[in-house]
């Protein structure tokens, strides 16, 4: 078990962030994603790990979103991994739509990255071209394919109806 001892929560003006006390290199495992409490609905303290399973992540709930993140949450192996080199004292962040299909509390992103998505509401609200630029977990890819197939079915039906 890789512990979370290297991570600390910083609070500034009620705004929480998760900071690392040690440096990591790209690809290095930082900690495991806790799964002691899994529920069927998203909230501010959960991470989506499957189509309808959300795990309460404790300290990791202080992880902020970034459109140019430095960690990924691999929900298949339940690990948080550095996706680039990270310095000691750096804030950790991940791309929320990589795990979240439909968020409980959407917000406006002000990360300032050139590829900023602005509205962070979950993967279902993003175009495929945007999602493709990011690491995505399997449940997100599956739900995306499903949504596209349903849309195609719907369009086919509309066309068929129009031709009647
Ligand atoms: Zn952003």
Reading the block at residue 15, the tokens are: 């705004």
- Cα(125) to centroid of ligand 1, in Å? 14
What is the pLDDT of the chain when averaged over all its residues? 94
pLDDT (tens digit per residue) in 132-154: 999 999 999 999 999 989 888 88
* CA 113/CA 68 separation, integer angstroms: 6
* Res. 110: pLDDT tops 80: yes
- Cα(64) to centroid of ligand 1, in Å? 11
C-alpha neighbours within 13 Å on the C-beta side of residue 88: 3
pLDDT (tens digit per residue) in 90-101: 999 999 999 999
- Cα(108) to centroid of ligand 1, in Å? 8
What pTM, to 2 d.p., does this model score? 0.91
What band does 1 get if pLDDT is binned at 50, 70 and 90?
Answer: low
How many other CB atoms are found less than 10 A from the CB of residue 91? Answer: 15
64-65/91-94 β-pairing: parallel
CB-CB contact of 93 with 39 (8 Å): no
């Amino acid at each position: 078990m890789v512990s979370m001892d290297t991570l600390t929560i910083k609070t500034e003006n009620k705004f929480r962030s998760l900071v690392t006390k040690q440096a990591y290199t790209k690809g290095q495992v930082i900690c495991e994603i806790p799964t002691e409490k899994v529920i069927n609905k998203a909230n501010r303290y959960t991470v989506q790990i499957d189509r309808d399973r959300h795990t309460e992540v404790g300290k990791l709930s202080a992880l902020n979103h970034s459109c140019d993140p430095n960690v990924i949450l691999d929900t298949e192996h339940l690990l948080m991994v550095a996706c680039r080199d990270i310095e000691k004292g750096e804030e950790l962040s991940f791309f929320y739509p990589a795990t979240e299909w439909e968020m409980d509390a959407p917000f406006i992103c002000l990360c300032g990255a050139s590829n900023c998505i602005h509205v962070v509401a979950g993967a279902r609200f993003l175009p495929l071209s945007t999602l493709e630029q990011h690491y995505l977990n399997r449940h997100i890819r599956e739900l995306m394919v499903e949504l596209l197939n349903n849309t195609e079915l719907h369009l086919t039906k509309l066309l068929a109806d129009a031709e009647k």
